[in-house]
Amino acid sequence: MTDITKPLPGQERYVAPLDETPLRAVDNVDETAPATSMWADAWRTLRKNPLFIISGILILFIVFVALFPGVFTKNDPNYCNLDNYLDGSRPGHPFGFDAQGCDIYSRVVYGTRTSLSVGILTTVIVVAVGTLIGAIAGFFGGWVDAVLSRIVDIFMAIPMLLGAIVVLQMFRTVTSLWKVVLVLALFGWVSTARIARGAVLSSKNLEFNTASTALGSTPMRNLFRHILPNSLAPIIVIATTSLGSYIVSEATLSFLGIGLPSTTVSWGGDISNAQSILRTNPMVLFYPSVALAITVLAFIMMGDAVKDALDPKSRTA
Amino acid sequence: MTDNTETIEDKLDQLQRSQGPLLEVKDLQVDFVTDEGKHVHAVRDSSFSVYPGQWVAIVGESGSGKSTSAMACLGLLPGTGQVVGGSIKLDGTEISHYTQKEFTAVRGSKMGLVPQDPMSNLNPVWRIGTQVKEALTANNMDVSHEKRSSLAKALADADIEIKSEGDETFLGSKELPALMEAAEQALVKAGVKGDRFEKSMERFRQEWVAGSETRWRVADDLIKAGVKDDDAWYIAKKYVLGSTVEDRIAGLLDEAGLPDAATRARQFPHEFSGGMRQRALIAIGLACRPELLIADEPTSALDVTVQKRILDHLQDLTDSLGTAVLFITHDLGLAAERAQHIVVMYKGQVVESGPSLEVLQQPQHPYTKRLVAAAPSLASQRIVSVEERGEDASAIMEHKVNEDSLEHADTVIEVDHLTREFKLPRTRDMFKAVDDVSFKVKRGTTLAIVGESGSGKSTVANMVLRLLKPTSGKVTYNGEDISQFKGKGLLDFRRHVQPVFQNPYGSLDPMYSIFRSIEEPLRIHKIGDAKSRRARVKELLDMVELPESVMQRYPNELSGGQRQRIAIARAMALNPDVIVCDEAVSALDVLVQDQVLHLLNDLQAKNGLSYLFITHDLAVVRQIADDVVVMQHGKLVEHGTTDEVFLHPKQQYTRDLLDAIPGGKLELGLNLD
C-alpha cells in the first residue's frame, strides 16, 4: 500500500524553473500592437492582394478615361465621314475606322463614360433601394417582412434581361441614359434587398443591440447606429461584383438595339454595328469588345478581392 | 472489502510499473505558421506521461497549449500546426512522425477522443446509432466479441477464469428473452426463493444488456446468484451466441449511460440534450476499446450536476475497461477530483506536474499558486474589497460589514410574484419560464440567482432590465413599478439600472472603437460635451484598470476579460445604482474571472452599487453574493443569505448543486497565505 503513494516513474513532482516561463500580469493589454478597426483590417488585407492591386489600377485608369476622354483623343466620336469607310489605322487614328467612317479609337474612349455611368448609377440606386427595403423587412419582421419578402420573390422570378427588354420596348422613344439605369435598377434591387435583409436579421440578434437598448437607446437608433453599419460588408461585396454585370447588361441591351439610342456612343451599340461586317473586318468589333471585357473583369476582380477582405467568416469579432 | 480493493490498487500499481507508460510525451514542440510565414511556438519542451488505467489531467487557461498538446498526440493538429521537436511514444512506439494514414490506424482503436463541444461534434443528418457504427466499421471492430484491454484482463485474471475465446462473446438481443427465462428456471432449480430471487432477477434485467454483456459475465452473474457452476456455464453457452451491430451499438450507448439505448440509437442529435450528446460522444470514443481516451474539456459546456453524473459514469466505465484517460480541463477542482496525476501548462510550457493533490495543496510554481488562489472552490469566502481590507482586518474576518448592511439596507429592486410564459412553437401550449418568483435586492448588496440552464434565471434578469414584459407580477425600482415608466421616466430608469451580459464577444459593437462604446451611454443620455465625455471615458477606463491606449482599439483586439471590463466601464458610465450581471464571468478563465470579480467587488464598495448577479456557478456565488436565490424549472427553490444556503441548505436540489461543485470538498493551496 505504501508504494502506491510513490509516483510512477516519469511522474515525479516537477516544477519548471521560474526564469524559463516568467509570469506575466493577468490579462494585460498588448499596447504595442497597432489599433485596427474592421475597415483598417480589411484595407490591410486588400493592400496585399495582387488581385486588388491590378483591378484597382485598371479601375482608376477606366475612371480617368471616363472623366477626361479629351486627354486621350482629340477626335470627335460623332464625326463620321464615309470617305473613311473601314479604313485601317493611320497616325491619330490608331484603331482605324468603322463602316460609318467614324474613328474607332475615339468611340472606344468615349464609350467608357457611358458604360461606367450606367454601371455606377445603377449600383447606387440598387444599393440605396435594396438596403432600405431589405433593412426594413429584416428589422421589423412580422407582416412587413412577409409582404416585402413576397415582393422580392416576385421580382426574383423575372429574369433581369428579359424584364428589361419588355419594359424598354414600351419606352423606345425615351433617349435618356436614365432609362436604362432605372430599368436595370428596377430588376436589380432584389438581390441586394435579400442580402441586406439577411445581414440585418443576423446582426439584429447580436447581444450589443440588447446592451444598447438597456442603455436607453431607441430601436431606430439601434438600426442606424449598430445594425446597419454591421450589415454593410456583404452589401458592399455584392455591389462591387454586380457593378460589372450591369455594364454587361447595358451593353447587351444596346446591342439588341433597345438600350441606348444610336446617338449615344456606347460599346454595346458599336459591337452591334460591327457584327454585320465581322467576317471581313473583325477588328472593328474587337476593340469595343476588349474594352468592355477589361472593364467588367476589373470590377469583378475587385469584387472578389473585397469579398476576401470583408468575409465575415475570416473575422473573429 | 477494503482489503480486496487495496490489493487491486496494489496490483494496478505493480502492473503500471512493470508495463511502463502508455503515452509518453517528451520535450514536445508544436509550432503554428502565421500568414506572414512566422513560426509561433504553441507548445514548447513539454513532457508528460500517462500510465495504463490512469487519469491524467492537463490544466491551464485558454491558449496555454493544453489542447494543442493532446491533439498532437492524436495527429489532429488544426491548420498549420506541426510537431517540430520532441517525441510522442504510444506503447513504446514513436508516433510523432506518423503520416495521417498511420495515425488513422492508431486512432479509434488505440486512442479515442471525446471532443469538447457536444453541440457541433455530432453530424446532424445522421442517426446517433449510425455515428457509433461508423466508429466500429472504420476500425473493423468485431461486434460480437468483447475486446478487453490487457490491463483489464490482467486485473481481472485472479477473479474470473476465462476458458476460451468464445467466452468473450456478447449477448444478442434475439436470445435475451430466452436467456431470462432459462435464468429464472435455473434459479428456481437451485432453490433461490423470495427476496433473493427477486433481487437476482432485477439485477439480471438491469445488467444483461444485449451487445454489452459477455458470456463469462452472464455465467459469473448466475454463479453469484446461486446457480451451480456447470448449469450456469451451460445456460451461458446456450444463450449467449454473439450480437449484431445494432445490439453492439445499443450496448455501447447503454454503457455510456444512455437509458433505453436501442430507441435512442435511432434518434437524431437534435433530439438529444447536451448531456445526452456528450454521452453519445463518449460511447463513440470508447467504441473500439482504446487503451487511451483523450477527453478535451468533455463537460465544460454542461451544467454542473450533469457534469458530475457524466464524469462519475465515465470514471466507472474507464476503470472497469482499464482505459487510461488524458483529461484536459481549465477547472482545477475537476482535475484534483478526477485525476491521479496533474500537469499544469502556461504559455505553451509545463510549469508544474506531479500527483494531483500534492500539486494543488502545495503549489510551488508562482503560476500554479496564482491559479490555486483564484480557483473558486467552496472553501473560499466572500471577496472583501481593497479598502475594507485596509481599514479593519478584524471586521472582515467576522464578515461583519456585509451583515450590517444586509440588515439595515433599504430595498432597491423588488421582484414581486413574477411570472413569464412563452408560447411553445407549433403547439398551443404555454411554457412557464419563470413561475411566481419574488425576492428583494437591498441597496449596496449583491443578490445572486443560481440555477442550471433553463431554470429561468436569465429571463428574470431580462424582466428586471425591462427588456421583457412579465406575464404577471411586477418589478419595482425604488418602490416604483418599472412597467409604468415611459419616455423620460424610462430613460431615467435605464440610466440607473445597467446590464453586463454574458458573452464578452457579443455585447460590444465590433464596428465601434472602445472609446465610442464607452461613450455611447453618455451620448444617448446627452450628458456633457465632447471634451467632458472624453475625460469621463478616461476616468472609467482607469476605474476598470485598463490603460488609456485601449480607447482607439476595437473589441476584436481585446481578450474576453478585457472586453468584459469594457462592458463594466460602459455600465458604470452613468453612475448607476444597480448592475445586473447576467453570467458576466462565466465565459472567462479562472484568473481573469477572479480579477473581474474583485473589480466588481471594489466598485461596489466604492460606489455603493447593488448587484443582481445571475450565474450557474455556485462557487462564484460564494465569492460575490450576500443573498442567494436558487431557481429550478422557473421556480424559486431556496432563498437565503449566502452563508445559510452554503452551510445549511434546506432543499435537496441545493444540496445536489453544492455537491456537484468540482473539488468542492478538497482543500487546496494549503501553503498559500
pLDDT tens profile B349-405: 899 999 988 888 888 888 888 888 887 664 555 665 544 444 433 333 333 345 555
* Contact (CB<8Å) B508/A208: yes
- Which residues, in sequence order, are bridge partners of residue B415? B439, B475
Taking chain B, what is the end-to-end CA distance rounded to the nearest angstrom? 40
Q: Please tell me which residue, A266 or A122, carries the higher pLDDT value.
A: A122
- What is the rounded distance in angstroms from the CA atom of residue B352 to the CA atom of residue B331? 16
Looking at the structure, do residues B490 and B624 belong to the same domain, yes or no? Answer: yes
pLDDT at B393: 36
Closest CA to A300 of A114, A177, A119: A119
pLDDT at A196: 94
- What is the rounded distance in angstroms from the CA atom of residue B251 to the CA atom of residue B283? 9
For A214, the closest of B6, B16, B498 (CB atoms) is: B498
For A207, the closest of B370, B507, B520 (CB atoms) is: B507
For B467, the closest of A20, A210, A221 (CB atoms) is: A210
Among chain B residues, CA nearest to A211? B507
Report the 10 Å Cβ neighbour count for B450. 25
Is A85 within a domain?
Answer: no
Inter-chain contacts counted by CB atoms under 8 A, chains A and B: 160
- What is the rounded distance in angstroms from the CA atom of residue A289 to the CA atom of residue A301? 18
Q: Is B343 helix (H, G, I), strand (E, B) or coil?
A: strand
Among chain B residues, CA nearest to A35? B553
* Contact (CB<8Å) B341/A7: yes
Query: DSSP string of B391-407?
Result: H-HHHHHTTHHHHHHHH
Mutation to test the B interface, candidates A19, A204, A215, most B Cβ within 10 Å = A215
Looking at the structure, do residues B327 and B425 belong to the same domain, yes or no? Answer: no
Is B278 within a domain?
Answer: yes
Looking at the structure, do residues B260 and B233 belong to the same domain, yes or no? Answer: no
- What is the rounded distance in angstroms from the CA atom of residue B115 to the CA atom of residue B328? 10
Query: DSSP string of B106-149?
Result: HBTTTEEEE-S-TTTSS-TTS-HHHHHHHHHHHTT--SSB----
Looking at the structure, do residues B275 and B332 belong to the same domain, yes or no? Answer: yes
For A208, the closest of B21, B494, B506 (CB atoms) is: B506
- What is the rounded distance in angstroms from the CA atom of residue A271 to the CA atom of residue B214? 82
Q: Is A101 helix (H, G, I), strand (E, B) or coil?
A: coil
- Nearest 5°: CA angle at A25, between A20 and A27? 120
Q: Please tell me which residue, A74 or A23, carries the higher pLDDT value.
A: A74
Three state DSSP letters for B473-512: EEEEECCEEHHHCCHHHHHHHHHHEEEECCCCCCCCCCCC
Say which residue the cell 447580436 belongs to.
A206
Q: What is the mean pLDDT of chain A?
A: 85
pLDDT at B376: 66
Amino acid (one-letter) located at B48 = F
pLDDT at B460: 92
CATH of residue A220: 1.10.3720.10
Is B453 within a domain?
Answer: yes
Q: What sections of B24-173 are H helices per DSSP?
A: 66-74, 100-106, 128-138, 150-156
Number of Cα atoms under 13 Å in the Cβ half of residue B96: 20
* Contact (CB<8Å) B364/A7: no
Looking at the structure, do residues B597 and B460 belong to the same domain, yes or no? Answer: yes
Looking at the structure, do residues B35 and B132 belong to the same domain, yes or no? Answer: yes
Mutation to test the B interface, candidates A21, A227, A236, most B Cβ within 10 Å = A21
Contact residues for B347 (Cβ-Cβ < 8 A; gap 6+):
A21, A24, B63, B64, B65
A73 pLDDT exceeds 60? yes
Partners of A23 on chain B (C-beta within 8 Å) are: 366-367, 370
Q: Domain count of chain B?
A: 3
Looking at the structure, do residues B308 and B193 belong to the same domain, yes or no? Answer: no
* Contact (CB<8Å) B501/A210: yes
Asked if A169 contacts A258 with a C-beta cutoff of 8 angstroms, the reply is yes
Mutation to test the A interface, candidates B557, B566, B582, B593, most A Cβ within 10 Å = B557
Among chain B residues, CA nearest to A15? B352
Partners of B20 on chain A (C-beta within 8 Å) are: 9
Partners of B495 on chain A (C-beta within 8 Å) are: 216
Q: How far is A52 from chain B (nearest CA, A)?
A: 18
Is B514 within a domain?
Answer: no
The three cell numbers locating residue B571: 455600465
CATH of residue B349: 3.40.50.300
Say which residue the cell 466507472 belongs to.
B316
Q: How far is B262 from chain A (nearest CA, A)?
A: 39
pLDDT at A120: 94
Q: How far is B535 from chain A (nearest CA, A)?
A: 20
Closest CA to B622 of B667, B578, B658, B579: B658
* Contact (CB<8Å) A211/B349: no
CA B419 from centroid of its chain's CA atoms? 30
Looking at the structure, do residues B500 and B470 belong to the same domain, yes or no? Answer: yes
Asked if B669 contacts B373 with a C-beta cutoff of 8 angstroms, the reply is yes
Q: Domain count of chain A?
A: 1
Residue where a domain terminates, one of B355, B372, B389: B372
Mutation to test the A interface, candidates B8, B342, B511, B562, most A Cβ within 10 Å = B511
Residue where a domain terminates, one of B350, B372, B394: B372
Number of H helices, E strands in chain A: 11, 1
Looking at the structure, do residues B466 and B365 belong to the same domain, yes or no? Answer: no
Q: How far is A304 from chain B (nearest CA, A)?
A: 19
Is A164 within a domain?
Answer: yes
Partners of B88 on chain A (C-beta within 8 Å) are: none
Partners of A235 on chain B (C-beta within 8 Å) are: none
Looking at the structure, do residues B337 and B431 belong to the same domain, yes or no? Answer: no
Partners of B521 on chain A (C-beta within 8 Å) are: 215-216
For A230, the closest of B10, B54, B509 (CB atoms) is: B509
Residue where a domain terminates, one of B196, B214, B242: B242
pLDDT category, A45, cuts 50, 70, 90?
confident
Looking at the structure, do residues B116 and B16 belong to the same domain, yes or no? Answer: yes
Partners of B370 on chain A (C-beta within 8 Å) are: 23, 26
pLDDT at A315: 43
Among chain A residues, CA nearest to B35? A45
Q: Which of the 8 DSSP states describes residue A225?
A: I
Across the range A262-290, mean pLDDT stands at 86
Contact residues for B238 (Cβ-Cβ < 8 A; gap 6+):
B182
- What is the rounded distance in angstroms from the CA atom of residue B160 to the CA atom of residue B146? 15
Q: How far is B632 from chain A (nearest CA, A)?
A: 25
Q: How far is A24 from chain B (nearest CA, A)?
A: 9
Question: Could you tell me the CA-to-CA distances from A139 to A226, B276, B505 in Å, in that order?
Answer: 12, 36, 22
pLDDT at B208: 86
- What is the rounded distance in angstroms from the CA atom of residue A261 to the CA atom of residue B288? 75
A231 pLDDT exceeds 60? yes
A114 pLDDT exceeds 50? yes
For B556, the closest of A9, A23, A315 (CB atoms) is: A315
B226: containing domain: 171-242
Say which residue the cell 474607332 belongs to.
A104
Mutation to test the B interface, candidates A1, A3, A11, most B Cβ within 10 Å = A11
**pTM score above 0.80:** no
pLDDT category, A138, cuts 50, 70, 90?
very high
* Contact (CB<8Å) B354/A13: yes
Looking at the structure, do residues B454 and B582 belong to the same domain, yes or no? Answer: yes
A155: containing domain: 60-72+96-310
Is B588 within a domain?
Answer: yes
Q: What is the mean pLDDT of each successive set of 10 residues along chain B, which is 673 residues long?
A: 59 81 91 81 89 90 86 86 89 88 87 85 90 88 75 63 69 87 87 84 85 84 85 86 87 85 87 86 88 87 81 85 89 86 90 88 87 69 53 37 57 90 78 90 90 86 90 90 88 90 82 89 89 91 86 82 88 90 83 86 88 87 88 90 88 87 72 64
For A208, the closest of B490, B509, B550 (CB atoms) is: B509
* Contact (CB<8Å) B498/A317: no
pLDDT digits (tens, 9 = 90+) for B266-320: 889 888 888 888 889 988 988 888 889 999 888 877 788 888 888 888 888 888 8
Partners of A11 on chain B (C-beta within 8 Å) are: 49, 51, 341, 353-355
Asked if B304 contacts B657 with a C-beta cutoff of 8 angstroms, the reply is yes
CA B330 from centroid of its chain's CA atoms? 9
* Contact (CB<8Å) A31/B353: no
